[in-house]
Every structure is written in structure tokens, then in C-alpha cells.
Amino acid sequence: MELWFSELHTPGVKLSIKVERQLFSATSEFQRIDIFESKDFGRFLILDGCMMLTEKDEFIYHEMITHVPMCVNPSIKNVLLIGGGDGGTARELLKYSTVETIDLVEIDEMVIEACREYLPQTAIGLDDRRVTIHIEDGLKFVRRCVDAYDLIVVDSTDPFGPGEGLFTKEFYGNCFKALRADGIMVNQHENPFYVNDAIAMQRAHKRIVSSFPISRVYQLHIPTYPSGHWLFGFASKARHPINDADFDGWDRLGIATRYYNTKLHRGSFSLPNYVEELLRDVEPEE
Ligand code: SAM
């Protein structure tokens, strides 16, 4: 008997992955958590039925959410990582000796425990002396922060369930306040292809644009995410993601990556016309 995991990307489109075995299944205070094993994508984490990461393609997401801001500001020392309970983003941040502290604010301790047990490839980022784990709602945590961080990474679930608050104007305004004068915020920003996701992307972009002087969107390709065409937001108080990037300095660091490189960094901010139009529709008139 064959077992398949399926995720509906729209009411009429789904992604299905043949499952070798289920490794974990539980419901926490916040969400249903499943971890499966497959031939094609290795182990994968599902939250409330939505694909979060697979061993096969998680490097794309975690490299692009980390190395773009780290190349724009080589002096990043203190990072606030909201969500990210699988540890993948922390793992990439820890490749920089200049990073001194990572406050990882994850609402659901069960995600951390399950990833530690079944996804060591990403969870390796959780147990470093520079990482402090706070089991708390990121929306509440950031309210207490002022001029405290050089980088905020919003590595959250989608804008419903526990993640909903992380796509609000209040949250982005508090992130602005929590960042220092040279601060950068990057966030997972949904996909532009499916209508409902594109609307969520426009809503988030509109709120970020109204909170930050510099706000751009960049793209990446994640095979197991809806449409495979994914966006991240880049917002900052002072640094432009391309004009102010230290490409040569980043290349000299010799950091091993399988997806990110400084040429791709530049290219990822060049977006398809239909995406530019979606963004322009919600940006203030020049
Ligand atoms: N890094 C993975 C990826 O490659 O997409 C997925 C992101 S990570 C698993 C998303 C995390 O955000 C989940 O562990 C979830 O519990 C957490 N989360 C959702 N809402 C949150 C909130 N309000 N505060 C803190 N963490 C939250």
C-alpha cells in the first residue's frame, strides 16, 4: 500500500510526495506537526498540513534568507530570528564569526524538539553558544526591543494560525523600532503566482513599505513550495540591497554555499514584470 503526503496549493492544485515512513506526528498547543521520510526529498517537516522544509531543498531557503542581508551589512553582530525553530537559518548565520548573538524566538517548543530528534541537518543550528532560544510569540517579544539588533529575520509560517501576527503593520513597526540605525529586516514573503498568495504578498509588502524607507523584494526557487517561485522581503533603514552590498568582501569570506552567490544576489532582485506590477500596485505614489 502506497502512502502519499499531499498539500493543496490551491483548491485545484496539489503537491504530492510519496512517503516511505512517518517519523513524527503530534498536535501542539499551536499546530499539527508531522515529519515524514521520502526517497525524493529526504525527511520533510509539515506544520498544519503545509510544507515547511525538506532535507533536499531547505538549503535554498535558508541560504537566501541569510546571505543576502549578511552580504549587504558585513558588520551584523546581533540577530533576532523570529520563527526558525528548525534551526536552518541559525545554521547559516553561525557561518559568520562576526555574528555574536542570535535570539531565536520560536512560539512552539514542540517544533524545536521534533527537529532536534528527526532533522539534525537543520537543528544543528540550535545548539551553539551564540544562540539563545526564547519560547515565545515573536509578536510580543519584539514589542520590548529598542535599537537592539542589526538584523531581524522573520522565518515564519504563513500568514494564518500562529504566524498571522507576523504579517501585521504593528509587527513591522516594532521591528523597525527594534533595529539599530543600520538595521535590516528580511522576511519570508509568500509567492506571487497563486492569487491568494499574491494578495497576501501585496498586503505584507504594503505594510513593510509603510514602515521602512527602503523596501525591496527578491526571488528564489523552492521546488516544494506553492508554485516553486518564492519571494523574500528585504527592508532596511539605510542600506540598499545591491548598491550597498559588499560583494567582494563576501566573496573573500569563502563561505560554502550551494545556492547563494553574489551574482545571484544581484539577479534575485530583478523580478518578472507581473511581480513588479503586483508590488507597484501597493507602493505609495512617487
Ligand atoms: N525555516 C523553514 C523554512 O525553510 O521555511 C520554515 C520556517 S519555521 C519551521 C516556521 C516557524 O515559525 C515554526 O516553527 C512556527 O512554530 C514558528 N512561528 C509561527 N508563528 C510564530 C510566532 N508568532 N512567533 C514565533 N514563532 C512563530
Q: Give the start-to-end residue ranges of the domains of the chain.
A: 3-54, 58-280
CA 20 to centroid of ligand 1, rounded, Å: 25
- Is residue 280 a contact partner of residue 215, using CB atoms and an 8 Å limit? no
Q: Which atom of ligand 1 approaches the CA of 163 most closely?
A: 20
Q: Is 44 in the pocket of ligand 1 (CB under 6 A)?
A: no
pTM, rounded to two decimals: 0.97
- Is residue 232 a contact partner of residue 187, using CB atoms and an 8 Å limit? yes
Annotation says 155 is catalytic: yes
CA 233 to centroid of ligand 1, rounded, Å: 16
Classify domain 58-280 by CATH architecture. Answer: 3-Layer(aba) Sandwich (3.40)
Q: Is 139 in the pocket of ligand 1 (CB under 6 A)?
A: yes
Nearest CA to ligand 1 atom 27: 83
Q: Is 165 in the pocket of ligand 1 (CB under 6 A)?
A: yes
Is beta strand 101-106 parallel, antiparallel or unpaired with respect to 78-83?
A: parallel
pLDDT 10s digit of each residue in the chain, 286 long?
A: 899 999 999 999 999 999 999 999 999 999 999 999 999 999 999 999 999 999 999 999 999 999 999 999 999 999 999 999 999 999 999 999 999 999 999 999 999 999 999 999 999 989 999 999 999 999 999 999 999 999 999 998 888 788 888 889 999 999 999 999 999 999 999 999 999 999 999 999 999 999 999 999 999 999 999 999 999 999 999 999 999 999 999 999 999 999 999 999 999 999 999 999 999 988 877 5
CATH superfamily label, 3-54: Spermidine synthase, tetramerisation domain (2.30.140.10)
Distance CA 179, CA 183 (A): 5
